[in-house]
Structure 1
Amino acid sequence: MEVRSTTDRRATRAVTLSHPRSPVTVGGGAPVSVQSMTTTKTADVDGTLQQIYALAAAGADIVRCTCNDADAAAGLARIVPRSPVPLVADIHHNHRMGLAALEAGVACLRLNPGNIRRPEHIKAVASEARDRGVPIRIGVNGGSLDPALYRKYGDEVTPEAMVESAKVEMAHFDEVGFHDVKISVKASSVPLMIDAYRLLSEETDAPLHLGVTEAGPLPGGLVKSTAGIGTLLAEGIGDTIRYSLTADPVEEAKAGRLLLEAMGLRERTNVDLIACPSCGRAEIDVIEVARQAQEAFADREIPLQVAVMGCVVNGPGEARDADLGIAAGNKRGHLFVKGQNIAVVPEDEMVGSLVEWADYIVEHGVEAALERADTAKAAREAEKDRQRLLREQGDDVNASEQRVELIKKQVDH
């Protein structure tokens, strides 16, 4: 079942990151894009390219690389022509590195207003970017605000301070006629990040890059990033996103893509695997079968929702909206498509059969899959196993009704 977002996205102007094969538009109603950042030394051309290709394969539309010295800038000049996606150069402290990255041919710059503060330096980079048609992301970070702004707002980081930092930078850009801007106001505090982006969205129509900076390792970093980014996307705020995890950056790209697919903001590119949490009626190790299925589908571009259910009593009904699923019963698996039983397979062939039928559905469609199957026979076999389970375990396998009665008695006394 494909999910589509019903949220009205905030209207923003568009900026485009150029690329000979895969240009990416951010804002202007374009699909929300996924970003990540390499962790290699940019001077290591082959190592950096290897990571860029891995990130692109994992779902990154845009990749950022650091440009912190002359060797990194030289590396970018060699990397840009071979990259499968647009590259953003991350510039800190030295504005000359921004000019060097532009010469190297990057598709975008990221400038931190807290690190490059002299107006003449900011304008020099913006002027060169304007002449080359290269966008700039104003990357405000709660941990590196201009000290003057920090003092102005009571020696603490506030949403107002972060937004003012972005507006000061935009004013410098305006002076040289540069408007091809994206903005981020990241913080490691989720509530602060959310409030800052909400405020910024009321101040500008520039496209916004969402992220919780320094979110940390898994699983906490995933939770914090999803809480912040997901909240704003649900409000229609945000045009491009990055998970900032203390982990392999491939995990960032995967997480970003999965979030957008789950929220109906991007089309599904791979299997959406759903599985029941298991219960007393389950006749298989649901966690292990789900793990095997996830591994089997990992690198296959199959845009279907696939269900793994622990029993045949409730499984097909609970997952009837899934494109394809399997439910266990009596040492065998009952395959179903859109809630209709289609086949019965041995327990040790369940995952393999899921993959086989998923391939068939992608190639031929759901209707063809149903026509191919002996649905009447499959339904009879599923009902036999269902009735057997009900006879052996009863209707209330988890004894929930007994608990309800006990609770009532305790409350009444």
Structure 2
Amino acid sequence: MVNVGAVGIGGDNPVRVQSMCNTDTRDVLSTVAQINRLAEAGCEIVRLAVPDDKAASVLADIRRESPVPLIADIHFDYRLALAAVEAGFDGLRINPGNIGDERKVDAVVRAAQGAKLPIRIGVNGGSLEKDLLRQYGGPTPEAMVESGLRHVAMLEKRGFHDIKISLKTSSVMKTIAAYRLMSDKVDYPLHIGITEAGTLVRGAVKSAVGLGILLHEGIGDTLRVSLTHDPVAEIGVAYEILRALNLRERGPEIISCPTCGRTEIGLIELAEQVEEALRGVEDVFTVAVMGCVVNGPGEAKEADIGIAGGRDLGIIFRKGEVVRKVKGNENLLPEFMKEIEKFLEERR
């Protein structure tokens, strides 16, 4: 187990949800704004790229404004890691083998030890050591695991054990195999993810398959869903993966029918509007949005509250029992939101 700020990872802690800002870290206002949006969506740890001295110079300003722990992502320049520690960051993402000679590695480890913050070793299939690529014939799972263990050994020999490990590729099957191998070799917390997974739909599918398999096997202590999209979207996908596996819940689960020839309302638009209206709600309950006033309540009778629409008429139901009828499709959403507010007030 390690602690990133006040957030425990591994052990008996829940699987934690992370993301990474895609803002220019040197732009303090936009970076802090995105961190706040991520935190509001349920993100528990945020990683920031620290590409140069200018970015390092504003880290303390960002840290003061952040409501969640921050991790500095460092490549090649050990001085940037030292600056992140000095700025009060809560963790480092580095590979000790690429930040310089032994003296420089010693300096970073001493700083991390002194500040009691963890280091995540982040192995990426696209940037493995050349000798490992030659030895294994490419970025194989075995090559990734050996790379990770090399970096772990560099920290362990300096008496440093507050370590997390990640082994990411864009290949779902290689990523799964790499984490399986590593989980048999170490007891350190594992940060799981499918890197460069793609745009919203493709990336969500690849992440759900890969991370879902690993989590179902008990592998993974913290995760990031990597999307070519607004990083806030990553948080929603992450929690839906965890919800589907009965590992964590946050906010309402929204179920909706896929539409058919009997649908007489704009169900797709209505479902999206309900989802958007409930985006900031943290309470856990089930909402149904159905397209048939005849069969909808019965088909979604397990939902805590739901709506079913027909031609110029909608019904609002709880646990399959109709509680209200609403005339006019334009009234469906506002009236439904009133009923949800009433439902939540009663529950609270």
Give 2:177's match in structure 1, choosing from 195, 198, 208.
Answer: 195
Q: Which has the larger radius of gyration?
A: 1
Q: State the one-letter code of the partner of 1:358.
A: I
RMSD: 1.8
Measured after TM superposition, the shift of residue 239 of structure 1 is 0.9
> Could you say what secondary structure the match of 1:60 adopts?
coil
Distance 1:353 1:304, change over 3 A: farther
Match status 1:132 vs 2:132: no
> Could you say what secondary structure the match of 1:73 adopts?
helix
Match status 1:61 vs 2:44: yes
Question: 1:206 maps to what in 2?
Answer: 188
Counterpart-to-counterpart distance in 2, 1:262 and 1:350: 28
Measured after TM superposition, the shift of residue 132 of structure 1 is 1.6
8 Å CA contact retained: 1:113, 1:146 = no
Counterpart-to-counterpart distance in 2, 1:173 and 1:356: 56
TM-score, length of structure 2 as denominator length: 0.94
Distance 1:172 1:152, change over 3 A: same
Cα deviation code 1:51-101 (max 9, x no counterpart): 111111122111111122221111112211221100000010112211121
Give 1:111's match in structure 2, choosing from 82, 86, 94.
Answer: 94
| Aligned residues with identical type, % of pairs | 51
Give 2:55's match in structure 1, choosing from 58, 72, 90.
Answer: 72
8 Å CA contact retained: 2:41, 2:280 = no
Give 1:25's match in structure 2, choosing from 2, 5, 8.
Answer: 8
Match status 1:341 vs 2:341: no
Q: State the one-letter code of the partner of 1:272.
A: E
Match status 1:220 vs 2:202: yes
Question: 2:78 maps to what in 1?
Answer: 95
Aligned residue pairs, count:
347
8 Å CA contact retained: 2:199, 2:229 = yes
> Could you say what secondary structure the match of 2:58 adopts?
helix
Give 2:262's match in structure 1, choosing from 281, 285, 288.
Answer: 281
> Could you say what secondary structure the match of 1:93 adopts?
coil
8 Å CA contact retained: 2:69, 2:89 = yes
The 4+ residue runs of structure 1 with deviation greater than 6 A are none
Cα deviation code 1:187-217 (max 9, x no counterpart): 0111111110111111111111011111122
Give 2:2's match in structure 1, choosing from 1, 15, 19.
Answer: 15
Distance 1:309 1:238, change over 3 A: same
Match status 1:163 vs 2:145: yes
Question: 1:362 maps to what in 2?
Answer: 344
> Could you say what secondary structure the match of 1:96 adopts?
helix
Give 1:49's match in structure 2, choosing from 22, 25, 32.
Answer: 32
> Could you say what secondary structure the match of 2:307 adopts?
strand
Question: 2:214 maps to what in 1?
Answer: 232
> Could you say what secondary structure the match of 1:143 adopts?
helix
Distance 1:330 1:49, change over 3 A: closer
Counterpart-to-counterpart distance in 2, 1:162 and 1:120: 25
Match status 1:254 vs 2:236: yes
Question: 1:8 maps to what in 2?
Answer: none
Cα deviation code 1:151-194 (max 9, x no counterpart): 2212x011111111111111111111110011100001111111
Counterpart-to-counterpart distance in 1, 2:302 and 2:21: 38
Alignment of 1:142-181 (within 5 A): 142-154=125-137, 156-181=138-163
Match status 1:295 vs 2:276: yes
For structure 2, list consecutive stretches of 5 or more residues without a partner in the other structure: none
Give 1:184's match in structure 2, choosing from 146, 166, 171.
Answer: 166
Q: State the one-letter code of the partner of 2:113.
A: R
More deviation, 83-92/250-259: 250-259
> Could you say what secondary structure the match of 1:219 adopts?
helix
Counterpart-to-counterpart distance in 2, 1:211 and 1:302: 27
More deviation, 157-166/111-120: 111-120
> Could you say what secondary structure the match of 1:110 adopts?
strand
8 Å CA contact retained: 1:36, 1:60 = yes
8 Å CA contact retained: 2:44, 2:69 = yes
